[in-house]
Amino acid sequence: MTPLISSLAAWRELRSSPAWAGKSVGFVPTMGALHGGHRSLLERARAENERVVLSIFVNPTQFSDPVDLANYPRTLEADVALAGDRVDAVLAPPPEEFYVDGYRYRVTETEFSRRWEGAHRPGHFDGVLTIVLKLLNAVQPARAYFGEKDWQQLQLVRGMVEALFVPVQVVACPTVREPDGLAMSSRNRRLSDLGRKHAAEFPRALRTARDAAAASAYLRVRGFEVDYVEDYQGVRLGAVRIDGVRLIDNVRL
Ligand code: PAF
């Protein structure tokens, strides 16, 4: 059975044991509520490494809205079942294990992180980059796997790894979509049946509108609250709210 590890001390013991020492480790960091997108990251990690670690940690420092943090789905048992034999260890420690310093030390990127998601969720990327760095230092993987759905996050993690000389290869994995085009996301399960149907208009508008302004205008008319839609270096990025749920996505132009 896959070990479920809830302390960093226990993790370090396993990591330095003969079964792990010297092996290439693939790492998939998540906040749980796993879905097909996570499954694809785990499968890629499984194919490219001798050992695979999944972390499940709802990181409080990346939520600017306490209600969003409280509502974030927590489904540990189902997550461990989905991971199954795609992983060799699940790391799921409580917040105090990661934030022994009370979040006095943090990673801040001062330009790119202020746009789009960062503009709408102040402090979000400080939280993301800080926990990703802590996780990479604790796990010491050869490769870490991130989904392209969180495109801005992916660019910032890559930038941090380069800027801080973190010895890991960041592997970008394509967004996995539902048959109607909606990007798989842990937040989708909070949509009502009607909201879920409606939500598929979001990626469709990103893909088909003639420009970002037209996509925004169309989405507003269709009842979405639009945080942003913007074209940047051949990628159209967007974030909207529908049914009280915030969704982000991006498409290549
Ligand atoms: O993408 C996520 O699920 C989170 O932002 C991450 C990378 C696991 C950090 O908490």
Let me know: does 228 contact 237? Beta carbons within 8 Å.
yes
The two tokens of residue 230 are 């913007």
Report percent pLDDT > 70 for the chain: 100
Name the residue with the closest Cα to ligand 1, atom 9.
128
Let me know: does 25 contact 53? Beta carbons within 8 Å.
yes
Task: Read off the pLDDT of residues 36-51 as tens digits, 9 standing for 90 and up.
Answer: 999 999 999 999 999 9
Task: Read off the pLDDT of residues 125-167 as tens digits, 9 standing for 90 and up.
Answer: 999 999 999 999 999 999 999 999 999 999 999 999 999 999 9
User: Which amino acid is it at 92?
Assistant: A
pLDDT category at 7 given cuts 50, 70, 90 is very high
Task: Read off the pLDDT of residues 10-41 as tens digits, 9 standing for 90 and up.
Answer: 999 999 999 999 999 999 999 999 999 999 99
Which three-class secondary structure state does DSSP give residue 117?
Answer: helix
For 146, list phi and psi in degrees, rounded to 5.
Answer: -130, 145
Nearest to 244 by CA among 168, 183, 201, 188: 188
150 CA to middle of ligand 1, Å? 9
With a 6 Å cutoff on the Cβ, whether 157 touches ligand 1 is no
Atom of ligand 1 nearest to the CA of 132: 9
Q: How far apart are the first and last CA of the chain?
A: 44
- Please, what are the domains in the chain? 4-173 (3.40.50.620), 186-246 (3.30.1300)
Residues β-bridged to residue 171: 145
Residues with a catalytic annotation lie at 38
Name the residue with the closest Cα to ligand 1, atom 8.
30
pTM of structure: 0.97
Q: Chain-wide mean pLDDT for the chain?
A: 97
Average pLDDT of 184-213? 97
Pocket probe for ligand 1: among 30, 58, 152, the residue whose CB has the most ligand atoms within 8 Å is 30
The two tokens of residue 41 are 């990251």
Q: Is the pLDDT of residue 1 over 90?
A: no
